[in-house]
Structure 1
Amino acid sequence: MPDDGASQSQTVWPLVKFSFKVMWDGAELIFQEVTGLSSETQVIEYRGGSSPVYSTVKMPGIQKFSNITLKKGIFKGDKALWEKYGGIKMNTYKRSTIVISLLDESQGIAMSWTLKNAFPSKITVTDMKSDANEVAVETMELAHEGLTQS
């Protein structure tokens, strides 16, 4: 029987990326955009001095995780990101586990990515122009020590 599109097919229709949620310290924060979910493994090249082969052996090395960028509209009286950023003192910030989930058509969690020991590293307020016709957006970057998918 052909797929009529009545529900999300696990093999025919890929998930859409516009439905997601971010859980930070047990509370859901609403964002317009989440970027930077990536991991990279550095490559170690080695060649022993007595090796008869004139090329290196490549081995996996240390993993690196890029910063996660979160963007959201600015609402009157909303200080949630600034309060989280304001908690930073010299190496004394309480690090958090942050879960970013991609949702299916019924708003159930299809897959999640977990950030380990995350903390805010940068916050940016919107630029302001008198002739602009745009929403005011604030941006926060998160540094973290690990990214896992579940």
Structure 2
Amino acid sequence: MADDGSAQSAATWPMVKFAFQVKWDDAEIVFQEVTGLTAEAQVIEYRGGSSKTFSTVKMPGLLKYGNVTLKKGIFKGDKTLWTKFQALKMNTYKRSQITISLLDEANAVAMSWTLLNAFPSKITVTDMKSDSNEVAVETMELAHEGLTLAS
């Protein structure tokens, strides 16, 4: 007899990636796309001079976090990202805690990633083209010092 899926538990299906929210300090900002949630351990290679093998030993080194890119549509009068970017001054910017959450079917937080000590490092305004029919999108790149996962 074929399984129609009615008896499957909620844990059987993976999460969808189109339902998410971004909280910057205490404010929620709506974005169309979030990319770059990456973390990696740099690899240290070492070989002792008296080693009888012809290869190196690999050890985990410093952790490295990639910049996170946020994209959102441009709305008339909305200067949210520009205001945050223009607040940058030489090392006097109040760094933020930014939480990116994946939402479940009930729109409740299923998993959250938090960027530690984040600040905007780049902002890009949409390209403009007279024969295009696309939405105007602005992009902000965030640098940060750590990425944590809470479920």
TM bucket normalised to smaller: over 0.9
CA distance in 2, matches of 1:119, 1:37: 15
Q: Assess, with a 3 A threshold, how the Cα gap between structure 1 residues 51 and 115 changes in structure 2: closer, same or farther.
A: same
In structure 2, the gaps of 5 or more residues are none
Map 1:1-150 to 2 at 5 A: 3-4=5-6, 9-10=10-11, 12-150=12-150
- Secondary structure (helix, strand or coil) at the match of 1:63 reads strand
Matched residue pairs, number? 148
Q: TM-score scaled to structure 1, two decimals?
A: 0.94
Q: CA RMSD in A?
A: 1.6
Residue aligned with 1:91, SS = coil
- Which digits, 9 at most, give the CA deviation of each residue in 1:95-117, with x for residues without a partner? 00100000000000010000000
Taking a change above 3 Å as real, the CA distance of residues 43 and 135 of structure 1, as seen in their structure-2 partners, is: same
Q: Deviation of residue 3 (structure 1)?
A: 4.0
CA distance in 1, matches of 2:32, 2:148: 22
Q: Deviations over 1:63-122 (max 9, x none)?
A: 111100000000000000000001100111110010000000000001000000000000
> Aligned partners of 2:147 and 2:95: how far apart in 1?
14
TM-score w.r.t. structure 2 length?
Answer: 0.94
> Structure 1: how far apart are the matches of 2:4 and 2:41?
41
Identity of aligned residues (%): 70
